Amino acid sequence: MNNDFAKRHQKSVHEFYETHGSSFAKTRGDIWPEQILLAKTIHPEMTVIDIGAGNGRFNGILPKDVAYLGVEPSKSLREASHVKLLPGELPHLLIQDNIGDLTACFAVLHHIPTVELRQASIREIIRVTKPNGRLAVSAWYIPEGKFEEVKDSEDNDVWIPWKADQKTARRFVHRFTELEWKKLWTRPELEIEQIGLFGREDWTKNTDEARNFFVMAKKKSA
């Protein structure tokens, strides 16, 4: 897919969160079960990188002595956060190599518009994670045929409608397949701990219960 397509849809996602960030943040107070699962594995003095941190809600359930590094491209969402967040977005983060004991990225990858950019984003997530550190990444699970397809795009790109505070808009989203999700994470640098669909409480194989694709993996030491 050409660069014009990528730039156009990256811009549309950015404009959505800048325009609606304040209203969007109000709808993102609940902690997701994936975040609760991860928080139980995090210990004081660990460094946690949270890419696409939104309003910083993940930080609220972490131990007090954790070094939290939240990164969020939307100024509107950063201003709505209760914790200081750094500007930045995938696939290029202004973060040094190998510093995250855990690198988390919740509900971001589906907004990245091309295979090449998604692959580059995975490499960036791996880069900032310490050897023997862990990464945890989710993307929306979207049933086939549920939303309007994006014209002149790669396969499985859709428009997701949004409404809040009497405002309506739509977001560009890539609809992952299970095979595509697993292939994305088949990398020599990673040891997969668990991968698949995640429901309202736990891992699931039932697509009727599924909310997100999720992966937990360990970065191998050199």
Residue given tokens 């409480």 in the structure block: 201
pLDDT the model gives residue 152: 78
Which domains, ranges and CATH numbers included, belong to the chain? 3-144+177-219 (3.40.50.150)
Strand order in the sheet with 203-204: 67-71, 47-51, 100-105, 129-140, 212-219, 190-198, 203-204
Residues of the chain with confidence (pLDDT) below 50: none
pLDDT score, position 70: 97
Token pair for 87: 């500007």
User: What is residue 97's predicted lDDT score, i.e. its pLDDT?
Assistant: 97
Residues 52-82: tens digit of each pLDDT: 999 899 999 999 999 999 999 999 999 988 8
Q: Give residue 97's identity as a one-letter amino acid code.
A: D
In whole angstroms, what is the distance from residue 140 CA to residue 34 CA? 12
Question: Do 174 and 154 touch, CB atoms closer than 8 A?
Answer: yes
